[in-house]
Amino acid sequence: MTTEVAITPVTLRGFGVSPGRRVGVVARMPDAPPAPSPEPSAPGTDLEGMATAVDDAAAQVRDSLARAAEAATGEAADILTVTAAMAADPSLADEARRRVLENRSSPARAVWDAAELVAEQLRALGGMFADRATDVQDVRDRIIAELLGLRPPGVPDPGHPFVLVARDLAPADTARLDPGHILAIVTAGGGPTAHTAILARSLGIPCVVAVGGAEVLADGDTVLVDGSTGEVVRHPDADAVARAAAVRSRPTRLERAGSTADGHSVALLANVGDPAGSVAAAEAGAEGIGLFRTEFGFLGRTTPPDIAEQVAAYSRVFAAFPGRRVVIRTLDAGADKPLPFVTADDEPNPALGVRGLRTSWSHPQVLEDQLEAIARAAATSSADVWVMAPMVATADEADSFVERCSAHGLRQAGIMVEVPAAALRAGDLLLNARFASLGTNDLTQYAMAADRELAGLAQLSTPWQPAVLSLVQLACAGGALHGRPVGVCGEAAADPVLAPVLVGLGASSLSMTARALPDVGAVLASVSLDQCRALAGLALAQRTADEARSAVRAGLPVLAELGL
């Protein structure tokens, strides 16, 4: 007689960055190829032929990524464009070719060593340039796979829906995630505002990052992933599986205007990165656009788009929301989005360098042309067009931007609040600026001095930090002094647990990935404005981010019904 041995569930913990609860079978992301042998090529080897093989493999990878970028939209297109540009940079292939010809390295080893040299150079620059070292390594692995005839690194395809488990996801991998096949994502690396988290939220895939012990999860394991609490349960029991399956199917469209249970209006808006994204946001029921990122028209170019090209693009976005609010952000270049026509390539710390509105100090015509294009597109549209500048830190900057907008006939001019200085003195900045929008990703990064891409700092990189919530409260209070609306357009707005806290702190609107709109709307509709304020006070009274999150979750019984 065989006795069946029960398998004890094991709970791993990380940071929930995209809500939802799913049960599925694990499929692990393949590890990157190991370092090729350093042994030199044998005498008589056709070195020129091997050097040509490097060029051909690099070209194949470059073209593959470029095609993927062209086919993608929104955040995915932005990410793939940056990675494709890295693959197109000749410095890596040229260095690898030199190593083949001069050092007799094998093609694969030459690419490995050349990539490490380029990556080290980027790390030495620090800041956001250091983050690009990961992109170099991703391109390296793809070129080596091409040279060796191996399956390139990337998302597995086991032939059935699965839970993706990985050390971390390269930008090109996150951009290719398919919500039709991937039930949930679990990573050992990453942080709450890293690219993996942002893409998972935009696709509606539950996701937990920075999971301690994720290496024990093996192909074929059954796991329960809770993207709200950050729990990953290996071998969940039957009751837990049944509860996850019983959660009602969540709607994909916002069916009513955002408001609290007692009728306090909270505009629920969408973040979009290109014209296609605006159409999808309208279909999802967004009340308007709270953040239209204009970088899509500037990335991957050596010169900025002309006014006519910008007018055409902006007009398409405005047309998707006739009679409704569209908040367009002027070019946010610099840091992780360097552009050759406005940013330098030798800044020691780009995250603290010339970025956002600061690029207009030395390149004013780029901003002037963009404002002119916005004004022309707005003049032929019924959309209620608002314009805001990124990375504003002082009242002088805010006043100057308002004046420049006014010169183009743009009266509804506002600012992004992304640095603590702007939050602390929001009353001064909003004396003349008509509105503010809190970019909580950068606000958290700067307030906590924590790079949002680093898994080791994930516990710091969350807007649940009481210090960040205090800055949100101060910014909203500064706006209230002059009757100026202050919204939130950072990823914090997409967290349905945090949404009522933000409203309680004074946020007048929440802008997020379109897929988050129904959940956020449902949670807000379950609480009154007074309850929102009480939850905000409860969060602020806690000493840690975890305590703040737990206290608010306990005060929102609707979360269990929604499966959040």
Neighbours of 331 (CB within 10 A): 26
- Please give the single-letter amino acid code of residue 184: A
In Å, how far are 21, 399, 436, 437 from 431, measured between CA atoms?
44, 9, 11, 15
- Please give the single-letter amino acid code of residue 278: S
Q: For tokens 């599925």, name the residue.
A: 24
R_g over Cα of the chain:
24
Which helix (H) or strand (E) segment is 340 a member of? none
Helix axes of 275-283 and 307-319: crossing angle, nearest 10 degrees: 10
**CA proximity to 201, closest of 497, 511, 515:** 515
DSSP 3-state assignment of 526? coil
Q: What gap in Å lies between CA 45 and CA 387, rounded to an integer? A: 61
- Say how many CA atoms lie within 13 Å of 353 toward its Cβ: 22
Residues designated catalytic: 195, 489
Output the DSSP codes for 366-433.
HHHHHHHHHHHHHHT--SEEEEEESS--SHHHHHHHHHHHHHTT---EEEEE-SHHHHHTHHHHTTTS
- Say how many CA atoms lie within 13 Å of 59 toward its Cβ: 6
- Say how many CA atoms lie within 13 Å of 444 toward its Cβ: 27
Q: Do the beta carbons of residue 162 and residue 181 sit within 8 Å?
A: yes
Cα torsion at 238, 239, 241, 245 (round to 10°)? 130
In Å, how far are 71, 164, 251, 557 from 245, measured between CA atoms?
34, 19, 16, 19
**CA proximity to 337, closest of 283, 387, 292, 301:** 301
Cβ neighbors of 186 (< 8 A, separation 6 or more) are: 14, 163, 164, 165, 166, 207, 208, 209, 211, 214, 217, 223, 225, 232
Range list of β-strands (E), 9-166 = 10-13, 15-18, 21-28, 162-166
Three-point CA angle 4, 8, 14, nearest 5°: 150
**CA proximity to 131, closest of 170, 105, 183, 157:** 170
Q: What gap in Å lies between CA 355 and CA 392, rounded to an integer? A: 10
Q: What gap in Å lies between CA 25 and CA 234, rounded to an integer? A: 10
> 175: phi > 0 → left, psi -120 to 50 → alpha, else beta; which?
alpha
Q: What gap in Å lies between CA 521 and CA 499, rounded to an integer? A: 9
Q: What gap in Å lies between CA 234 and CA 485, rounded to an integer? A: 45
